[in-house]
Amino acid sequence: MDESPDLPLDLAFAALADPTRRAILRQLSAGEASVTDIAGRLPISQPAVSRHLRLLEEAGLIETAPRGQLRPRRLRAGGLSAARTFLDEMARYWPDRLDALAAFLDETKDQP
Amino acid sequence: MTDVPVFMIARQFAASPQRVYQAWADPVQMAAWSGPQGSSVEILSGEQAEGQSTISRTSSPEGPDMYSLCLWRELKPDSVVWEQSFCTPEGEKCPPPFFDTWPVTLLTEVDLEPRDGGTFLTLKWTPIEYDEAGLAKFAEMMASMTGGWGGSFDKLEEWLAQ
């Protein structure tokens, strides 16, 4: 069972499950960027950024522009758009926050 | 005049209206639950009080910091109302990080009423400062509400079918 027919879907969801990778997708939605550009906007190391980029690329969400020494990354046409990811985050915003509020009220119910 | 889409959500809480109100009115309590999971929220300047503005920062262990400018219109035990915009660390309104089409300012209206020994909360989210493109994105976000990630599933399936 090492080859699953759902592999691309699994890869895409695994790639999207991480907030850093969603942040990278949002950044690339504004235009292509080099690993250095991307690392400069995130509080993580360049090797860590490279690992995230590799996962996004394997998931088919981004690609490497076929030119230049800097090998800029860009969103892959037909991949899941970063805009979509942002809108989904916004759509989940209040439902998730109210869940968190309910949990907070439950945790603090015995406090004076 | 364009019809402005309004996002609405309602929720029943077991806690009393006083406790639910405090969770919104007390900045320390609000910071404990109002940021996305794993993040922390800190008020950098201003006071969370009627007629006052605050600038706050939401930090995640991974991902960029986000700044919000809030104008607190009403802080009453049955009604909390504020205007909220993404902003720069200095408090200048700006688009959200890496996403340039979104309403500039959203009005959030929270109503709290006692019900069944707890609190019934209704929340309305309305764009009040926007351009047409930003309003269209807000409407698109609402359309994707059916299941949250539902929109992404559709898009993924579309893409996989290519």
Q: What is the ipTM of this complex?
A: 0.84
The whole-angstrom distance between B13's CA and the closest CA on chain A is 7
For the segment A54-89, what is each residue's pLDDT rounded down to a tens digit? 999 988 888 898 777 778 998 886 666 555 667 777
Q: Are β-strands B118-129 and B105-115 bridged in parallel, bridged antiparallel, or unpaired?
A: antiparallel
pTM: 0.68
Residue B144, domain member (yes or no): yes
Q: Could you tell me the CATH number of the domain that includes residue A57?
A: 1.10.10.10
What pLDDT was estimated at residue B155?
A: 45
Residue B145: which pLDDT band, with cuts at 50, 70 and 90?
low
The total number of structural domains in chain A stands at 1
For helices B132-143 and A82-107, the axis angle rounded to 10 degrees is 60
Residue A69 identity (one-letter amino acid): Q
Residue B1, domain member (yes or no): no
Q: What is the mean pLDDT of residues B50-55?
A: 97
CB contact under 8 A, A101 and B23: yes
Q: What is the mean pLDDT of residues B95-99?
A: 75
Residue A112, domain member (yes or no): no
> Are the CB atoms for A52 and A15 separated by under 8 Å?
no
> Are the CB atoms for B80 and B34 separated by under 8 Å?
no
pLDDT at B101 over 90: no
pLDDT at A6 over 50: no
Q: Which domain, by its residues, includes B92?
A: 7-160
Total Cβ atoms within 10 A of residue A38: 22
Which residues on B lie below 8 Å from A61 (Cβ)? none
CB contact under 8 A, A83 and B29: no
* Rounded-to-integer distance, Cα A22 and Cα A20, Å: 5
For residue B150, what are the CA distances in angstroms to A82, B78, B143, B157? Answer: 15, 34, 10, 11
The whole-angstrom distance between B84's CA and the closest CA on chain A is 14
Q: Which domain, by its residues, includes A31?
A: 7-107
For the segment A26-52, what is each residue's pLDDT rounded down to a tens digit? 788 778 899 999 999 888 999 999 999
Q: Could you tell me the CATH number of the domain that includes residue B122?
A: 3.30.530.20
Sign of the alpha-carbon torsion through B90, A26, B108, B60: negative
Residue A2, domain member (yes or no): no
For the segment B3-43, what is each residue's pLDDT rounded down to a tens digit? 799 999 999 999 999 999 999 999 999 998 988 777 889 99
Which among B64, B148, B156 has CB closest to A12?
B156
